Chain A
């Protein structure tokens, strides 16, 4: 841990504002003359609109306008990047592809008037026959051609998988299912749009203001610099805000038509139906192994649902491709279209459901072999990337296993299932490996040192609740040699230097690197200024003979000789001294991933079998940890989310219509505090400088990968029952 910032357990800089209510979220934006919108949702899941009667809505008090496909919105172009992803623009025709689809937008003077008028819109449908569920869609599953989201190999073959299977002395084969789950962040999606002539400003709950700006510009046929996106703080996202969804474009459209600012806060129901979800998956895995546990082959076939207006395969199979050293492999991903909204990234896309299947299958193999699950994984450790053969930029997975097993007391596990009891409780231990590809993105930042010694970081990334504001400040403070409380940061605005999106665990590594480069640039410039300045005590020294600490530049050889940034800049009348940082990930000789190991203890009442996770330990290898407090927070949250995925999360659908049933937090269960036992997180905390200059890697996703498998494996250990379908509800255990 450096005293200057990196690794320090700093409290989030925005914490006080958040708990006192002073924090401004997107829904807190109020512009002069602003009107409020409500969206009308389709009740049927397939077919077309026969008629749409908006007369009563238009006549309702306060209503300023009602728009629908009847108004023929003139979209310039469908943005051809994955962060819109749908092939159909909102309101382009009378077709219905899913229940909940926006069919009209009502704008009124108040939120309540808009909601009231929206209820008065009368739609008549020519209902089609929907494909309601993944189950019903499976017969028409297909392998997608490369496209918008189809950006990874849909089929991979390594070696000779079929022969390897045939020749394997031990084989396990099973089918696993994960449920349709929803991000359910506390803050719903919100957009406020305002036009000045041909210039559009959007205040939007966006996980990627820079990416989304380009997309909105394309939809409206505007040059990028005519669109500004602002996102102050986000109240949770988990992927629901990685994309631009219909409501954002529709609000911008309505604002343009009405010539005044318009805001929409979408409803909780619409959060479940129009801002994406993690699609359900059916995954078939077959493993062939030697009797000593060495893997010979894995085959992994995965099918997930997608909508009729987007093709989005869930990259579940990467777990099998990249986790273990296995010479033979075959994977395939298929899509099956159902009449539901478009799926999207949800913590953790691909590896969440994929690791559930793979890590359970490995547990089944361990049981079959009578092997210890940790030992089995050690034996199949991938020393290099199993597909490309390239070395890892940094990998401490074996250490994760060792530390985890030791701290958890794994040796107390009895490998015969159903044998450990306490009173009426069955006790089980389970574990799983976590692995996630580290993504890199270009990012820029500036760092200004001011004459008062204060520092300002400016970069268009955003804080979705994970502590980015704080960690970026720590990175700058560390590189500059100032105390973190001297640094302030501005993010979430496309007027700032383009930062990285806050998804895919990109922020720490990529944006952190940009901030670090900018801070180093500023520090270098200050040192150059000092050594070339006759008025400076450091005059004449070589640049590398100067160091900075606590905002003071000094001679390494004689620390008493020196001066502060403030004095230096004031004397030279430089305000601010700006450093620029531009991080552009280069083609690398390495493969970069984050790793981890999860260990969990469940207890299950024999008569009333609700699974309780009483103890969970995660050991995580994500490079250097920028802030141990926000990191622990982040990891605990990710683990809790995944315990929910393991035990209760499921957005249930009507088997006939496919509609989401009661899309509300009453029935969409996420864990409550009483569900959560002790959660310990341990970080390996070794920098991975081969990955990026900062040596930090993403944490947001690695912490939740493998948790659901660890829980399911613990349930097997406790009961002898192998539950291959998530969530593991009491019903499935009876």
Chain B
């Protein structure tokens, strides 16, 4: 661990000023990811700007029936919020399936979006890793690749995005609101995270001086929704595969479907191909399986993660079957 300075911002403008003025600065949310990475000498900010006092921790109902979630809302408060629980149960389920109670009490919504991969080599400073040291190579491809992505990987990086929350947000067409001294912009969550390509070190479209201020959810899709996570133990483990689904069936036919996957993609993975295959199809096990296969047709496996393709297929089918 290196020495660093700590400043605290009490309002958004102060935060934006600090991130611009202080050299090599980073925002500090709950610190559950950033501080770990600093201890491992992987993140090396000279300054951390504590933003936990910013007045951005509310859940607001919007006139169109959607909600606006402040970026500094703690994960446990998000999961416990009555509006979220009643109207977006998938979000509450996703959050509660992640980390532990203690971590969720600290972790913020913005930090959850920005958390970095759990690729074991990313954490091992003796290993080659393009994400950590651009151009150094990738020890995972050719190494132990059990936790890695089967969708969206490049020759430079196959790390998964670890968030559960983001998978639900991807399914729900969430919008991320970003602020900088240049103004405010709104980016769909599905475009917020980037594919690794040749630059796996650039993980999101967030600029260095930009602050996530809120996540907005449009009105919930019709039908039932569900988040299901498969992992190596019953709790307190990252997903091998997770599925966020919202399904409506009218007269035995899929009339509305949202599907996103976690644990298998280099970013929170919205399963558009599966959705296309399902919409208007009979709500049967065969359709579900065909849709899952359509999504996974492009999947590419490494030596130890082939099982994820099969597991993703059975999880998608099991979740949709359970909802229809």
Chain A residues near B (Cβ < 8 Å): 43-44, 99, 112, 115-116, 119, 424, 605, 607-608, 610, 612, 647-648, 652-657, 659, 661-662, 664, 666-667, 669, 671-675, 729-731, 734
Q: Are the CB atoms of B233 and A116 closer together than 8 Å?
A: no
Contact status B311-A654, CB under 8 Å: no
When distances are taken between beta carbons in the complex, the residues of chain A under 8 Å from B232 are 610, 648, 669, 729-730
Q: How far is the CB of B39 from chain A (nearest CB, A)?
A: 9
Chain A residues contacting B207 (CB-CB under 8 Å) are none
Kindly list chain A residues whose C-beta atoms are within 8 Å of the C-beta of B3: 116
A99 to B125, CA, bound (A): 12
Restricting to B99-127, which residues have a CB under 8 Å from any CB of A? 118, 120-121, 123-127
CB <8 Å contact, B235 and A44:
no
Say whether, besides A115-B1, A116-B3, A675 and B233 are in contact (CB < 8 Å). Answer: yes
Majority SS at the chain B contact face: loop
Give A664 to B236 CA distance when docked, in angstroms. Answer: 13
B264 to chain A, nearest CB (A): 13
Q: Would you list the 6 A-B pairs with minimal beta carbon distance, nearest first?
A: A674-B234, A43-B126, A661-B120, A607-B318, A662-B120, A607-B314
Chain A, Cβ-Cβ closest to B143:
A654
Residues of chain A contacted by B146 (CB below 8 angstroms): 652, 731
CB distance from A609 to the nearest CB of B (A): 9
User: Does B237 belong to the interface (CB within 8 Å)?
Assistant: yes
Distance between Cα atoms of A667 and B315 in the complex (Å): 22
A672-B234 in contact (CB<8A): yes
**Docked complex Cα distance between A659 and B140 (Å):** 13
Q: Does B63 make an interface contact (CB < 8 A)? A: no
Of the candidates B1, B125, B144, the one whose C-beta lies within 8 Å of that of A655 is B144
Bound complex: CA of A119 vs CA of B41, how far in Å?
9
Cβ of B23 within 8 Å of any chain A Cβ, yes or no, is no
B124 near A659 with CB under 8 A, answer: yes
Looking across the interface, which residue of chain A has its beta carbon closest to that of B99?
A: A666
Note all chain A residues with C-beta closer than 8 A to B235: 672-675
Cβ 8 A contact of B310, one of A648, A657, A734: A734
The smallest C-beta distance from B158 to any residue of chain A, in angstroms, reads 15
| Chain B, Cβ-Cβ closest to A652 | B144
B310 CB contacts on chain A under 8 angstroms: 734
Neighbouring B residues of A673 by C-beta, 8 Å: 235
Contacts of A612 in B (CB 8 A): 234
Any A CB within 8 A of the CB of B95 = no
Please name the residue on chain A nearest to B142 by beta carbon: A656
Tell whether, in the assembled complex, residue B233 and residue A671 are in contact, meaning their CB atoms are under 8 Å apart: yes
Give the A-binding residues of B (Cβ under 8 A): 1-3, 41, 118, 120-121, 123-127, 139, 142-144, 146, 230-237, 240, 307, 310-311, 314-315, 317-318
Q: Which residue, B3, B118, B124, B314, has most C-beta atoms of chain A within 10 A?
A: B124
Which B residues are in CB contact (< 8 Å) with A672?
Answer: 233-236
Q: Which of B1, B41, B120, B234 contacts A675 (CB 8 A)?
A: B234
List, sorted by A's number, 17 A–B pairs whose CB atoms are closer than 8 Å: A43-B125, A43-B126, A115-B1, A116-B2, A116-B3, A119-B41, A605-B318, A607-B314, A607-B317, A608-B315, A648-B233, A657-B126, A662-B123, A667-B118, A671-B233, A675-B235, A730-B240
Contacts of A734 in B (CB 8 A): 307, 310-311, 314
Known: A115-B1, A675-B234. Contact between A652 and B142, CB under 8 A? no
Decide if B234 touches A119 in the complex (CB within 8 Å): no
Tell me if B230 and A608 are in contact (CB < 8 A). Answer: yes
Of the listed residues A112, A119, A607, A656, the one surrounded by the most CB atoms of chain B closer than 10 A to its CB is A607
With A and B bound together, what is the CA distance between A612 and B232 in angstroms?
11
A673 to B235, CA, bound (A): 8
Contact residues in A for B124 (Cβ distance below 8 Å): 654, 659, 661-662
**Chain B residues whose CB sits within 8 angstroms of the CB of A657 once the complex forms:** 126-127
Cα-based distance from A424 to B315 in the complex (angstroms): 13
Q: A727: nearest residue on chain B (CB-CB)?
A: B232
The answer to whether B126 touches A116, judged by C-beta atoms less than 8 angstroms apart, is no
Inside 8 A of A669's CB, which chain B residues have their CB? Answer: 232-233, 237
Min CB distance A119 to B, Å, is 6
| A607 contacts across to B, CB distance below 8 A | 314-315, 317-318
CA distance A242 to B315 in the complex (A): 44
Given contacts A661-B144, A667-B118, contact A730 B311 (CB under 8 A): yes
A671's nearest neighbour on chain B, judged by CB, is B233
Residues of chain B with a CB closer than 8 A to A675's CB: 233-235
Using CB atoms, name the residue of chain A closest to B230. A608
A226 to chain B, nearest CB (A): 38
Q: Which residues of A contact B315 (CB under 8 A)?
A: 607-608
Assess the A652–B126 pair: CB atoms within 8 A.
no
Cα A652 to Cα B126 in complex, Å, equals 15
> Contact partner of A652 among B120, B125, B237, CB < 8 A?
B120
Give every chain B residue within 8 A of A729 (Cβ-Cβ): 232
The answer to whether B139 and A656 have CB atoms under 8 Å apart is yes
Cβ-defined contact, A666 with B126, below 8 A: no
Cross-chain contact A99 with B233 (CB below 8 angstroms): no
Least CB distance, A446 to chain B, in whole angstroms: 45
Give A648 to B124 CA distance when docked, in angstroms: 21
Contact of A610 with B231 at beta-carbon distance under 8 Å, contacts A654-B143, A730-B240, A734-B307 already known: yes
A672 to B139, CA, bound (A): 30
CB distance from B229 to the nearest CB of A (A): 10
Return A731 CB to nearest CB of chain B, in Å.
4
Residues of B within 8 A of A662 (CB): 120, 123-124
Contacts of B314 in A (CB 8 A): 607-608, 734
Task: Tell me, rounded to whole Å, the shortest Cβ–Cβ distance linking B203 to chain A.
Answer: 19
| Nearest A residue (CB) for B126 | A43
Closest to B241 in A: A608
Chain B minimum-CB-distance residue to A661: B120
User: In the complex, what's the smallest C-beta–C-beta distance from A637 to chain B, in angstroms?
Assistant: 17
Chain B residue numbers with a CB within 8 Å of A664 are 123
Contact A654 B41 (CB under 8 A): no
Minimum CB–CB distance for B162 against chain A, Å: 11
* Interface pair B118/A654, CB less than 8 Å apart: no
Complex alpha-carbon distance, A664 and B127, angstroms: 16
A610 to B311 Cα, complex, angstroms: 11
Closest to A732 in B: B307
Question: In the complex, what's the smallest C-beta–C-beta distance from A603 to chain B, in angstroms?
Answer: 12
**Do the beta carbons of B126 and A659 come within 8 Å of each other?**
yes
